[in-house]
Amino acid sequence: MRKQFIFDPQKETATAYLTRMSPVLGALRNDGASIANPQLISSVGLEEKVEIENEVCKAFEKTISTETRRVIKMTPGKLDDYEDDYKNELRLAILKDIHKFNNPAYLKGSQTFSIDAFVRARVPGVTKKVIGMKRGRKEYEMKRESHVKKVMAALLAAKGSAVITVDDIWRNQHLANDSMTLSKDQIWDVMAAMEDASYLEDLTECEADYKESKYGSVEQQGIIDDFMKDMSIYPEYEMYIYLQSLRLRLDETTNKEIACDKRLIDLCKASPEARDKVIYERIVIERPKSGIAPNSEFDEYVSTTYIETTYRRIDRNVKASFIKKNLEETDMLAILNHLINM
């Protein structure tokens, strides 16, 4: 494999490397959208293509390990023995879309994403799949279960009753907003599996017995909207600090780099309560972890101590709110993914 395709953390960050390589991968995969040097692409053989894909995937490894540990910690006792399986499934999910990472052909507008955000967007699907693997369930069974749950959630919201029959689900399958249509027998099989005691032992709280009326939690958008109302108490500059910290910390972006963010500086300057957090003196970032150039110089920045204390304060309040609201694990992950991708 040629040197230009190899990731060297001494010369560029993982984010910069992946952003550079994603159009190359897209063109090698003939996705019909990515733009790359045609002579370069035509010179890559099958063996080198495989080596390139493996090399690019390696740049995600640190975040894959971090996310796997985070999910296992958030689902105590559910996935403890499945760490390797979880990592492998997360790798496969990332490898499938790896050519889309900050690829101009797939971006909407000028917004780009961190490695953290790219990986976390695939966590909910992988979590469901691995839990299904643990229960010995096939992928098509989980898709059918998801279809039935969506219909039940919609009916529960409309009827206000937990008594939902097979006929109710069969007649209202359009409420799932997917392409699946099940027969009554198939719906009955899904509901029977959901009632099985051994099946229930391995469910996360969010997937508990439908007779306990917990299907309201499937409507995660309502939960997210409600949570975001609570977050509105924070001024814009504090929310910006918190969101940037969530997005960038797994990339090992430092507080010093966040402090030099032009938008953050402008937000603080515009607020009487935060103007004194802007420090007017020369600062040099010698070895940045983000996409900025080495040895970048700035004449003003936001106090790094203020950034750290703000992040910790809001993060502590967010976690306390999770506990207070008695949120399910998948709901917490949905909220975090929403915050990261705002």
Q: Is the pLDDT of residue 205 over 70?
A: no
Share of the chain above pLDDT 70, in %: 77
Q: Is residue 272 part of a domain?
A: yes
**Choice between 125 and 268, residue whose per-residue pLDDT is larger:** 268
pLDDT digit string, tens, across residues 21-62 = 999 999 998 888 888 888 888 898 888 888 888 888 888 888
pLDDT digit string, tens, across residues 63-120 = 898 888 888 877 666 677 788 888 888 888 888 888 889 888 888 776 677 888 888 8
The reply to whether 249 and 155 lie within a common domain is: no
The reply to whether 45 and 158 lie within a common domain is: no
Q: Of 98, 132, 166, at which residue does a domain stop?
A: 132
The reply to whether 8 and 110 lie within a common domain is: yes
List the domain range (segments joined by +) for residue 108: 3-132
Q: Is residue 32 part of a domain?
A: yes
Q: Of 82, 100, 132, at which residue does a domain stop?
A: 132
The reply to whether 98 and 155 lie within a common domain is: no
Q: Is residue 227 part of a domain?
A: no
Number of domains into which the chain is organized: 3
Give pTM, 2 decimals: 0.48
The reply to whether 107 and 161 lie within a common domain is: no
The reply to whether 124 and 20 lie within a common domain is: yes
**249 closest CA partner among 259, 258, 240:** 258
Q: Of 158, 187, 217, at which residue does a domain stop?
A: 217
Give the distance from CA 332 to its chain's centroid.
Answer: 11
Residue 340 — pLDDT band, cuts 50, 70, 90? low
Q: Is the pLDDT of residue 202 over 90?
A: no
Q: Is residue 225 part of a domain?
A: no
Q: Is residue 68 part of a domain?
A: yes
The reply to whether 114 and 13 lie within a common domain is: yes
Q: Is residue 228 part of a domain?
A: no
Crossing angle of the two packed helices 220-231 and 329-340, in degrees rounded to 10 = 60
Q: Is residue 104 part of a domain?
A: yes
